[in-house]
Amino acid sequence: MNEVIVERPSAHVAVIRMNRPEARNALNQAVRSGLAEHFTALSQDREVRCIVLTGGDTVFAAGADIRDMADRGAVEIMLRNTHTLWQTIAACPKPVIAAVSGLAWGGGCELAMHADIIVAGRSASFCQPEVKVGIMPGAGGTQRLNRAVGKFKAMKMVLTGLPVSADEASAMGLVSEVVADAEVHTRALELAQLIASRPPLAVAQIKEVLIAGEDASLETGLMLERKAFQLLFASRDQKEGMHAFLEKRDPQFTGE
């Protein structure tokens, strides 16, 4: 059974689905490697304009595979170089939407935070429980979480290991939208298709500048934004978009 599956539900949209239901999509090396492989391939596929990352209907990913870690040594864990697999997701130039149903715990919460938009079902929950088994988050659970929700909310989550509901996560700024459980996948696809209909070069520049500016000074971030804004006037899509607006017709963007 393939532990990570790629689907193409519509033009320009790809879905990456974790498929390890017997282990609640626990992130073993095979799943991490599969995710890295598919994100690398889709990042280079010009036909793909937006990616949806999802798990099952009742669990997104319940964390790392503890059975695969319990008796490992520090050097063995280090030599796995797992961070290089995560980096392929973080470096993806296409917008990524996480469609989260059920548990997004531990590595699952960290994985969701690699996305650009998170759509959560009403019964979804987010948790960094690593402290309960004698370790700490190791794939962004202290750094991305802190940047997303601030020190005080992040400290509570990582020090107690307690979960937060989808509504709590939304109030904290950890998710983009909360929808009915049955609508998670549909809503994620709707957003993906909408983003895929936008001009690809502009979308790519928006994502790159927004992320690059997160840890830059305001002055530097504004400079990056200004240069990217100016660059887009060299694209055919800019001409198409503005002339379509003036001519009161739908634009046809080609990514050129």
Q: Could you say which DSSP state residue 27 is in?
A: B
- Which has the closest alpha carbon to 119: 47, 38, 194, 180? 180
Catalytic residue among 107, 108, 121, 141: 107
10's enclosing H/E stretch is strand 4-10
Catalytic residue among 64, 104, 115, 192: 64
Catalytic residue among 55, 63, 98, 110: 110
Cβ(244)–Cβ(250) below 8 Å: yes
Our answer to whether residue 108 is catalytic in this structure is no
Distance CA 191, CA 168 (A): 22
Percentage of the chain surpassing pLDDT 90? Answer: 86
Our answer to whether residue 63 is catalytic in this structure is no
Our answer to whether residue 228 is catalytic in this structure is no
Catalytic residue among 130, 196, 228, 241: 130
Q: In terms of residues, how long is the chain? A: 256
Residue 248 phi, psi dihedral angles, 5° rounding? 55, 50
pLDDT of residue 165: 98
Our answer to whether residue 106 is catalytic in this structure is no
pLDDT of residue 1: 64
Mean model confidence pLDDT for the chain:
95
Mean pLDDT by 10 residues, the chain (256 residues): 92 96 89 95 96 95 82 87 90 97 96 97 97 93 95 97 97 98 97 97 97 95 97 97 96 94
The pLDDT tens digits of the residues spanning 48-102 come to: 999 999 998 899 999 877 877 878 889 988 888 889 899 999 999 999 999 999 9
